[in-house]
Amino acid sequence: MTDAIRESELPAEPGALRKRKILIVEDEFVNREILIAMLVSEYEMIPAESGAEAEKILSRQCAELSLVLLDLNLPDRHGLDILRGMKADPCTAKIPVIILTSDKEAEVECLNLGAIDFIPKPYPIQKVVQARVRRTIELSEDRDLIRNTERDHLTGLYTQEYFYRYAAQYDTFNPDVPTDALVLDINRFQMVNERFGKQYADGVLARIGQAIAAALGAGGGIACRRSADVFLVYCPHLTDWRAFLDGIVDAACGADRGRIRIRLGVCSETDKSLEMQTRFDRAKYAADTVRGSFKDCIAFYDKTLHEKEVFDERLLDGFRAAIDGKQFKVYFQPKYDIRPEKPVLCGAEALVRWIHPELGFISPGVFIPLFENNGLIGTLDRYVWREAVRQVGEWKKQYGRCVPVSVNVSRIDMLEPDLVDTLKELVKGCGLEYGDLHLEITESAYTEDAKQIVSTVNSMRDTGFVIEMDDFGSGYSSLNMISTLPIDVLKLDMMIIRNAFRENGNVKILKVIFEIAETLEVPMIAEGVETEEQMKALRDMGCEMVQGYYFAPPLPAEGFEKHIGDWLSETKPHA
């Protein structure tokens, strides 16, 4: 017998539907031919007269089959073994199976193994057979359709929309079960994509999905993939989240454990009067508090976090009015060239402060990370750049000399396509040269999306802006990488200075860093210098510039003018 197709009509017109294919596994010639005759007008019938032949067709054509009609008594196999094999193989597990049998006893076992229906022998009339076959195929296709819309194709977990629906349903059926809302987020997933490739990264996501589903198996609960690398889990209250997270990381990452770090935000014993989404927003809020942290990777949404969230909301609500009402003030902190015996002013960093009408003075350490997370940073930064450049332009007109000013450029600003044009317009509009504006880009920005950032920085630098790498030493860039990055100045992270100069601190590390800067032929600014002793030690190590409280804190424009005045009088040519 061949596995030739009996009825292989091609569609009459292009685009017309092909007939659905049915595999009929039946060794008895007459039985097989009767069934084929009953169904061939509607379906493409593929006959197999032995178990071996059926398995061959299943392995070659599983994706095309709409149904299998399976006899239990085959010469070389028992039909149940074929059924068992089909259900165990993910490629064939979803093909519906109707059993052809005269043995009533076998029905329960067949149903337990995943068969959908039976056609008894001798066969009923044609209409009945056709109706059973049609209904089984329809049901299976409906189920697949539902599955495809409900599930994320990569992980097999629910999509967000269905997840929220089923989570609410879970509450309806289990009103008294305390539940947890969990958010799992992969740290710096963009880096995993970039370093190891999309295929590898997709594999990680798929394995995490499977590991979550397996972890929930015993205790119950549901999960979804909310966006690229964010997973949500709604489950009966857990007590050992560490074990839960470790289990998932072990199962999903195995030997690659070191490459993947997942942070877990927990909204424990959720308040069921809250919207489902709010519970997960809270868990996400908690997860974001340990973003990038190497120590803690589990965070709980508690009273303190709730208060912080309410405070953050207040800041976010007040943002627009603050921009319109000029509540943001740009301060200037001087940078000094320390190579001469008497240090000389060589620039300033523009640093924003918020003078809030009700909350008073708010430091950027409080609101910058918030605005970075909420997409408002672009508006604020443009405001600060404009103010800073306008002020320096005015000083240039007033004093006839220019104090180069550096502004902070957020990682998110770097994604704006018109960034370079905006900066060019600002500078030219205030009568400055491109070189009078320095751009501070944090080291971590370079490591997050290296290709895109490097190409933007290159175009800024080609225009003539001076590029300073901010917080150097706090990120993760390798020396190899730094030597290829477009940078004009390295700004040493304040923590490195602080650690080096504290009691029992290690000043040697500073020496090594300055040697690196020398090798790269890039000048170094040390930030956060607070004493004369620190300034002198840094000078001895070859540090060119210093910014810090030793010279001055960030000052309002009027306060900074004193530094300009001193500079002009000291560097004035002698008569």
Give me 328's structure tokens: 């943001």
Q: Is 408 in the site for ligand C2E (CB under 6 A)?
A: yes
Give me the least distance between CB of 554 and ligand C2E, in Å please: 5
Stretch that binds ligand C2E, among 13-21, 318-326, 376-384, 482-490 (CB under 6 A): 376-384
Residue in 410, 447, 477, 534 binding ligand C2E, rule: CB under 6 A: 410
Smallest separation (angstroms) from ligand C2E to the CB of 411: 9
Say if residue 196 is exposed, middle or buried (CB neighbours under 10 Å; 0-12, 13-18, 19+). Answer: middle
CA angle 372, 375, 378 (to 5 degrees): 80
**Other C-beta atoms within 10 Å of 243: how many?**
11
Q: Pick out residues in 440-469 that bind Mg ion (CB under 5 A).
A: 440
Stretch that binds Mg ion, among 38-46, 112-120, 406-414, 481-489 (CB under 5 A): 406-414
Nearest Cα to 282, choosing from 272, 268, 294, 296? 268
CA distance 444 to 450: 10
Nearest CA-CA partner of 186 in 260, 244, 284:
260
Q: Is 549 in the site for ligand C2E (CB under 6 A)?
A: yes
Contact track, ligand C2E, 329-348, x by CB under 6 A: ----x---------------
Contacting ligand C2E within 222-261 (CB under 6 A):
none
Q: How far is the CB of 407 from ligand C2E (least distance, A)?
A: 6
Part in contact with ligand C2E (CB under 6 A); list of ranges 73-81, 88-96, 274-282, 526-534? 526-534
Contact 217, 177 (CB under 8 A): no
Q: Out of 24, 35, 267, 351, which residue is the one contacting ligand C2E (CB under 6 A)? A: 351
Helix (H, G, I), strand (E, B) or coil at 240: coil
Name the segment binding Mg ion (CB under 5 A); options: 253-261, 397-405, 407-415, 422-430: 407-415
Q: If contact means CB under 5 to 8 A according to the sort of partner, which of Mg ion, ligand C2E, none does residue 449 touch?
A: none
CA distance 383 to 413: 12
∠ CA 476-482-483, nearest 5°, is 155
Read off the tokens for 517: 């800067």
Q: Assign residue 475 a region: left if phi > 0, alpha if psi is -120 to 50, beta otherwise?
A: beta
- 436 part of the interface to Mg ion, by CB under 5 A: no
State how far the Cα of 246 lies from the Cα of 188, in Å rounded to an integer. Answer: 18
Query: Encoding tokens for residue 376?
Result: 């408002």
Q: 555: Cβ–Cβ under 8 A, 6 or more apart, which residues?
A: 331, 332, 333, 334, 563
- How many Cα atoms are found within 13 Å in the side-chain-facing hemisphere of 130? 10
Q: How far apart are CA 404 and CA 389, in angstroms?
A: 9
Which listed residue (152, 229, 436, 470) binds Mg ion by CB under 5 A?
470
Among 83, 457, 528, 544, binds ligand C2E (CB under 6 A): 528
**Closest approach of ligand C2E to the CB of residue 438, in Å:** 12
What is the CA 340 to chain-centroid distance, rounded? Answer: 48
**Shortest gap between Cβ of 548 and Mg ion (angstroms)?**
11
Judged by CB under 6 A, the stretch of 138-146, 222-230, 307-315, 541-549 that binds ligand C2E is 541-549
**Residue facing ligand C2E at closest CB distance:** 548
Contact pattern for Mg ion over residues 508 through 527, marking x by CB under 5 A:
-------------------x
Q: Quick one: DSSP state of residue 54?
A: H
CA 213, CA 184: separation in Å to the nearest integer?
Answer: 13
Q: How many CA atoms lie within 13 A of 556 on its CB side?
A: 5
> Which of helix, strand or coil describes residue 274?
coil
Q: What is the dihedral of CA 313, 318, 320, 323, to 10 degrees?
A: -130
75 vs 365 by CB, closer to ligand C2E: 365
Minimum gap (Å) between residue 507 Cβ and ligand C2E: 17
Closest separation between CB of residue 421 and ligand C2E, Å?
19
Q: Determine the Cα–Cα distance for residues 507 and 521; give it in Å rounded to an integer.
A: 21
Query: Which of 107, 123, 119 lies closest to 30, judged by CA?
Result: 123
Closer residue to ligand C2E (CB): 294 or 361: 361
CA torsion, ordered 58, 62, 67, 71, to nearest 10 deg: 10
Kindly tell me which residue out of 364, 473, 475, 486 binds ligand C2E, with binding defined by CB under 6 A: 364
Out of 527, 534, 544, 563, point to the residue binding ligand C2E (CB under 6 A): 527
Supply 377's token pair. Answer: 């940073």
Residue 449 or 471: which CB sits closer to Mg ion? 471
363 or 506: whose CB is closer to ligand C2E?
A: 363
Residue 53 contact partner, candidates Mg ion, ligand C2E, none, CB within 5 to 8 A by sort of partner: none
200 binds ligand C2E (CB under 6 A): no
Please list every residue from 461 through 480 that binds ligand C2E, using CB under 6 A: 470-471
What is the rounded CA–CA span in Å between residue 64 and residue 80? 22
Q: Which does 554 bind (CB under 5 to 8 A by kind): Mg ion, ligand C2E, none?
A: ligand C2E
Least Cβ distance, residue 241 to Mg ion (angstroms): 35
How many residues lie near ligand C2E (CB under 6 A)?
24
| 443 forms part of the interface with ligand C2E (CB under 6 A) | no
Q: Which residues in this chain contact ligand C2E in the complex, by CB under 6 A?
A: 333, 351-352, 363-365, 368, 377, 381, 384, 408, 410, 440, 470-471, 494, 527-530, 547-549, 554
Q: Which residues in this chain contact Mg ion in the complex, by CB under 5 A?
A: 408, 440, 470-471, 527
